[in-house]
């Protein structure tokens, strides 16, 4: 089937100079068009509700709601929309977290004009793309299976966490991107208690921060 319209792209980036540069780079392609650009995820969602786009290019370090939370929410709202994370962050845990939250591509901001155009075309067709600078580190960070049985590759991880019912509920909110104060509000507990639950979860999952906890929870199917 021949594509008879331009691929529509929304751009979410808080630095105006970068937004302008990306718009110029991308709009040079005859088959792609930036149809909206936004400084915050909140502004983006307001526009997306009215007019969805085929592809969304999103920074991680956004003000207010960050790019990980925004990607997760967007995939829940519109699973068919393709997400390209375009960032200067090279941390492996952030790459894995972005992919776990539904990103279709992880791209660094040193990308050339022709390359970002090709990435947009690729994800639009359903291809996943990871920047070469972070792809090998991401592969090496993947958890090792505890079995070669396809039905039991990682199941033991979830069974061995020994999370209480309350901690399991808190973990689900961590995966949803909630802060300690938001967890406390949602669960009608003090912020101090929420912080204590989070500390216990990090210890039981043998991870160092909330992002790693969320990634492990999703990858090990501890939470859906």
Regarding pTM above 0.75, the answer is no
Fold topology of 7-141: Rossmann fold (3.40.50)
Is the pLDDT reported for residue 180 higher than 50?
Answer: yes
| Three-state DSSP string of the chain | CCCCCCEEEEEECCCHHHHHHHHHHHHCCCCEEEEEEECCHHHHHHHHHHCCCCEEEECCCCCCCCHHHHHHHHHHHCCCCEEEEEECCCCHHHHHHHHHCCCCEEEECCCCHHHHHHHHHHHHCCCCEECHHHHHHHHHHCCCCCCCCHHHCCHHHHHCCCCCHHHHHHHHHHHCCCCHHHHHHHHCCCHHHHHHHHHHHHHHHCCCCHHHHHHHHHHCCCCC
pLDDT tens, residue by residue, 64-123: 888 988 998 999 899 999 999 999 888 887 888 888 888 999 999 888 889 999 999 999
pLDDT tens, residue by residue, 112-121: 889 999 999 9
**Which pLDDT band holds residue 157 (cuts at 50, 70, 90)?**
very low
Where along the chain do its domains lie? 7-141, 150-219
More confident residue, 133 or 27: 27
pLDDT of residue 41: 93
Is the domain defined by 150-219 classed in CATH 3.30.565.10?
Answer: no
pLDDT of residue 206: 83
Is the pLDDT reported for residue 220 higher than 80?
Answer: no
pLDDT of residue 2: 45
pLDDT of residue 111: 87
Is the pLDDT reported for residue 160 higher than 60?
Answer: no
């Amino acid at each position: 089937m021949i594509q008879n319209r331009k691929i529509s792209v929304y751009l979410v980036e808080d630095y105006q100079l970068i937004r302008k540069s990306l718009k110029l780079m991308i709009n040079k392609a005859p088959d792609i068009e930036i149809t909206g650009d936004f400084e915050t995820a909140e502004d983006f969602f307001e526009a997306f509700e009215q007019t969805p786009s085929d592809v969304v290019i999103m920074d991680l370090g956004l003000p207010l709601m960050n790019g990980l939370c925004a990607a997760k929410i967007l995939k829940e709202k519109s699973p068919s929309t393709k997400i390209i994370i375009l960032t200067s962050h090279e941390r492996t845990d952030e790459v894995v977290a972005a992919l776990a939250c539904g990103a279709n591509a992880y791209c660094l901001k040193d990308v050339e004009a022709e390359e970002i155009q090709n990435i947009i075309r690729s994800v639009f067709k359903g291809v996943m793309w990871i920047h070469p600078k972070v792809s090998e580190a991401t592969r090496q960070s993947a958890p090792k299976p505890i079995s070669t049985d396809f039905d039991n590759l990682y199941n033991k991880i979830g069974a061995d966490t020994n999370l209480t019912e309350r901690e399991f509920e808190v973990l689900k909110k961590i995966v949803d991107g909630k802060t300690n104060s938001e967890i406390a509000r949602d669960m009608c507990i003090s912020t101090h208690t929420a912080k204590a639950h989070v500390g216990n979860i990090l210890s039981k999952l043998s991870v160092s921060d909330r992002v790693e906890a969320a990634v492990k929870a999703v990858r090990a199917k501890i939470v859906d």
